[in-house]
Chains A and B, each alone.
Chain A
Amino acid sequence: MLHRFANPTRFLRLAAAMQPWMAALTGVMLAFGLYFGLFDSPGDYQQGESVRIMYVHVPSAWMALLCYTALAGSCAVSLIWKHPLADVAARATAPIGAWFTFLALVTGSLWGKPMWGTWWVWDARLTSVLILFFLYLGYMALDNAFDDPGRGARASSILALVGFVNVPIIKFSVDWWNTLHQPASVIKMGGSAIHPSMLMPLLLMGVGFTSYYFWVLLIRIRGEICANKVRSLRLRQVHEQPSADDLSEEAS
């Protein structure tokens, strides 16, 4: 089944069919999530109305981790089975994940100022998320640093896999160290600590952000496949053109 859709042509057909559904799901989920999050959910008993930043901050942070997991998974498939579609998926995921991480940092900072009295603090959760952002940037820089795309993909895949150690560190940082950041409250032993009136918009926004990710991912994968075809056609053209030496030999 996986091999069937790992064929780029078949994948492109499937992606074209899925894109409108992903766009519709994103629109509907974000519309409902924003309505309940901004108009029809209570303020927090301690944090007041500032808790509404949670509805964009938490889904951004979830997506930052999900995208990096997808990136590391694609890089592992690329390194082990050398499947070209895995390289393409990794390259398409990286900028989306980097932007979600940026959003998690910025919205977190905007939430931190009124609640903690500071825009930034070098605690374990914030620092490990900042490292995640640099890992994304490092992956993209390394991927583009080589003339040979194959070598770039190999080097950046190794970096992404090594950097995956940061994902559990981010998740458990609030348990392992004393941090200003609050501990896990949505998924925890003994059930969620969030009231359903706040949990519902949060989950709606989470589903909306996830479908947005798959929507943009499908678009970017199509672009990356096209860019790969352009590269290989240009290379073929260069090889087919007679070199200056060949022409001078023919002339003599």
Chain B
Amino acid sequence: MDTLLTFLNMGGYGDFIWPAYVIVTIVLAGLLISSRRFVKAAEAELGSIKQPHQRGRREVGDET
């Protein structure tokens, strides 16, 4: 327990070191998650536009 507390204390600089690591982790994880969501949303929108568009083309093709 003492070893853990000594490690977390970081020679008295723990109040500065841990926030730095936490902020970096939050930002990098958040950027990765938001980038993946951005791709998924764009792909879903593309799929929803393409489907009626392709259906419409097929219907035009059936008439001829």
Interface residues of A (CB under 8 A from B): 43, 48-50, 52-53, 56-57, 60, 95-96, 99, 102-103, 106-107, 110-111, 113-114, 212, 215-216, 219-220, 222-224, 226-227, 229-230, 233-234, 237
> If the complex has contacts A52-B17, A111-B20, A233-B53, are A99 and B46 also in contact, measured as CB distance less than 8 A?
no
Scan B8-46; emit 1 where CB is below 8 A from any A CB, else 0. 001111001101110110011001100110110011011
The smallest beta-carbon distance between B33 and chain A, in angstroms, is 10
List A contacts of B35 (CB < 8 A): 216, 219-220, 223
Per the bound structure, the CA–CA distance linking A99 and B24 in Å amounts to 10
- Chain B residue with the shortest CB-CB distance to A60: B24
Size category of the binding interface on chain B: 20 to 34
Given A50-B13, A56-B21, A99-B28: 11 more A-B contacts, CB < 8 Å: A53-B16, A99-B31, A110-B17, A216-B32, A223-B38, A223-B42, A224-B42, A226-B39, A226-B46, A233-B46, A234-B49
22 sampled A-B residue pairs with Cβ under 8 A: A43-B11, A48-B12, A56-B24, A99-B27, A99-B31, A103-B27, A110-B16, A110-B19, A111-B20, A113-B16, A212-B32, A216-B32, A216-B35, A219-B38, A220-B38, A220-B39, A223-B35, A223-B42, A226-B43, A226-B46, A233-B53, A237-B49
> Smallest CB-CB separation from B23: which chain A residue?
A106
| B48 → chain A closest CB, angstroms | 9
Residues of A within 8 A of B23 (CB): 103, 106-107
Q: Is the CB of A50 within 8 A of B31?
A: no
Complex alpha-carbon distance, A237 and B50, angstroms: 11
**Knowing A50-B13, A233-B49 touch, does A57 contact B42 (C-beta < 8 A)?**
no
SS of B interface (majority): helix
State the main secondary structure of chain A at its contact with B.
helix
What total count of A-B pairs have CB within 8 Å?
86
B24 touches A103 (CB 8 A): yes
B10 touches A49 (CB 8 A): yes
Give the distance in Å from the alpha carbon of A234 to the alpha carbon of B45 in the complex: 11
Query: In this complex, which of B16, B19, B36 has the most chain A Cβ atoms within 10 angstroms of its Cβ?
Result: B16
**Residue among A49, A224, A233 making CB contact with B13, cutoff 8 Å:** A49
Residues of A within 8 A of B49 (CB): 230, 233-234, 237
Contact between chains at B10 and A226 (CB < 8 Å): no
* Cβ–Cβ < 8 Å partners of A53 in chain B: 16-17, 20
Top 8 closest pairs, chain A to chain B, by CB: A226-B42, A49-B11, A223-B39, A50-B13, A49-B10, A107-B20, A223-B38, A219-B35
In the complex, what distance in Å separates the CA atom of A44 from the CA atom of B31?
Answer: 32
